[in-house]
Structures are given as structure tokens and as C-alpha cells.
Amino acid sequence: MRNTRQREEVLAALRSERSHLTATQVYDKVREKISNISLGTVYRNLGNLVQSGEIFTVETSDKCLFYDGFTFPHSHFVCNGCGAIFDVSNANSVEYPPELNGFSVEEERTVYYGLCKNCVKRIDERKNKKQ
């Protein structure tokens, strides 16, 4: 696998800040550095980086895939109110379920869904107004 500037910038886009971006968002961010980079190139490099374990994917709503440049073990919380994705510390189980005996478990991903602190507050305030 060759070392290209495009590949570098795709990875840099995901690691420059603690964020979870869609392919299109990565594309927009990388275009600030390489104005004529192709969306296909972004997709291919994202795929390669996932395969090589340098980035993760987060599947959130039923919509599209998010990419996460930070691969230390952690879980995610997806807010059903505002759509934001939060990192949370890993609460992975110590023991695997018994059905997985004989299976080779390579990864465990947990996603929590609900309302973040802000959305809880926002909805509470609305309720109080109505009363």
C-alpha cells in the first residue's frame, strides 16, 4: 500500500479533532487541503483505513455511516434528539455470551441510544411551559 497525500489527509481530517464524520464531511474537510480530491478517493481510502484498523466506523441512525479516527477502546452514545454522537468509556462485558463458545470474537461494539443532557433539559423545559 502506497503512501499518498490523499490518504494522509483523509486520516488527518478524522484525527485533527475528536469527531465523527460521514464520508461527505470528510470529503469537504479534505477539499480544504486538496481542492480537487475525488469523492471516490475519499471512500476508497476510508475503506482501506478501516481494513487496516486505523479508523473505526460508527453505525448510528438508519441513515449513513460515520467514521471515527480514534481507535482506543470506547463506546458511543447517539442522541435521538439532536443526532449528536458522544464517546463514552467502554463498558464491554468481561465474559462473552455462552452462545459464542467456539466463535472467534474479534470486536465488540456497544451503542447507547437516548437523549443527551441538553435534549433532556430542552424537553423538560417545554413540558413545564405547557403546564
Partner DNA sequence: ATTGATAATAGTAATTATTACTAATAAGGA
Partner DNA sequence: TCCTTATTAGTAATAATTACTATTATCAAT
Residue 115 in contact with DNA, rule: CB under 7 A = no
3-state class (DSSP) for residue 71? coil
Please, which residues have CB within 8 angstroms of residue 17's CB and are 6 or more apart in sequence? none
User: In terms of CB distance, is 11 or 79 closer to DNA?
Assistant: 11
55 binds DNA (CB under 7 A): no
Report how many residues bind DNA under the rule CB under 7 A: 25
Distances in Å between the Cα of 51 and the Cα atoms of 45, 47, 54, 87, 110 are 10, 6, 8, 22, 20
Minimum Å distance from CB 10 to a copy of itself?
16
Q: Which helix (H) or strand (E) holds 56?
A: strand 56-59
Residue closer to DNA, measured from CB, 35 or 104: 35
Sites of contact with a copy of itself (CB under 8 A): 57, 59-60, 62, 65, 75, 77, 80, 86-93, 95-100, 102-117, 120
Query: For 33, how many CA atoms within 13 A lie in the half-sphere containing its CB?
Result: 15
Using CB under 7 A as the criterion, which residues of the chain lie in contact with DNA when the complex forms?
1-7, 22-24, 34, 36-41, 43-45, 47, 62-65
